Structure 1
Amino acid sequence: MLRVHHGAVDQATITSGSPPEVFEHVTQVLISMGIELQKESEFKYRCIRHKRKKTAEPIYGDRTIDMQDEVRFSVELTRIDRLEDTFSLDIRRLKGNLRSYKFLYDTLRE
C-alpha cells in the first residue's frame, strides 16, 4: 500500500504509470548512478552516495555544484490524495551537503 503524499509537489516527479514499473525504473536509475540502496518497504529506499575517493564509482558533479561528500536521502513512491492513479516520487535529504543533494536530486529527476 502506498502512503499518501504530504507537502509540496514537484511537477517533474509526478507520474500516472503503474507503481511497480515506475519504481523498477527508479531502481535502475539509482543503480546506474552508483547509489547504494537499502530497501525500507516495497516502494521506499534509503539511499547513500559515499564520499568521493580516488576510485569512486558513484556519480559526482563538478566541485562548483557538488561537494562530492557523503549524501543520504530517501526515495519513496507515494500516491496523491484524491487523484486516482496519480503518484509522486518523494526524494528527501536525510544527511549531507545541500548542494551535493541538489545535484543528485536534479540528476535523478532527469
Structure 2
Amino acid sequence: MLRVHHGAVDQATITSGSPPEVFAHVTRVLLGMGIQVQTESAFKYRCIRHKRRKTGTGGASSPLYGDRTADQGDEVRFSVELTRIDRLEDTYSLDIRRLKGNLRSYKFLYDTLRE
C-alpha cells in the first residue's frame, strides 16, 4: 500500500488521481526522458540518469540533458514515490528525492518531471 507522506509538500506534485493511473503516467514520462527505472515497490522507483557522453548521442532513447549552465550532465540517482497525504482522503503526493549527483542536474530533472 502507499506510505504516508513526510516532510515539505510541493504543490505541483499533489494529485487526486487514481494511483495506478498517476504512476503509469509517471512511468511514461520517465522513460520518455531516457531515465533508467528500477522498481522498488508498486509505487516507488529508483531512477538513474547516466552521465553525458563526450561524443555521439547514443541513439534515439538517449537521456535528456539540459543547457550546460543548468545541467552539468552528471550521473544523477533519485527516487520517485507516490505517497498519500495523511488525513486527506484520495490526495497523493509524488515524492522525488535526490540520492546521488549534482544538485543543479537533479533540479533540472526534478523540474522537467514535475511539468
* TM norm structure 1: 0.99
Misfit runs of 4+, over 3 Å: none
Match for residue 83 of structure 1?
Answer: 88
1:62, CA displacement in angstroms? Answer: 0.4
The answer as to 2:105 corresponding to 1:100 is: yes
Give CA deviations for 1:26-67 in whole Å, capped at 9, x if unaligned.
000000000000000000000000000122410000000001
Aligned residues, how many?
Answer: 110
Match for residue 15 of structure 2?
Answer: 15
Query: For the aligned residues, what is the CA RMSD?
Result: 0.6
Q: What are the equivalent positions in structure 2 for 1:25-40 lying under 5 Å apart?
A: 25-40=25-40
Identity among equivalent positions (%) equals: 85
Query: 1:32 and 1:97 mapped to 2: Cα distance?
Result: 21
Opposite residue 110 of structure 2, the aligned amino acid is Y
Where structure 2 has 5 or more consecutive residues not aligned to the other structure, the ranges are: none
* TM norm structure 2: 0.94
1:77, CA displacement in angstroms? Answer: 0.1
1:81, CA displacement in angstroms? Answer: 0.1
Where structure 1 has 5 or more consecutive residues not aligned to the other structure, the ranges are: none
Query: 1:105 and 1:41 mapped to 2: Cα distance?
Result: 20
Query: 1:67 and 1:7 mapped to 2: Cα distance?
Result: 28
Query: 2:74 and 2:106 mapped to 1: Cα distance?
Result: 10
Match for residue 48 of structure 2?
Answer: 48
Query: 1:52 and 1:99 mapped to 2: Cα distance?
Result: 14
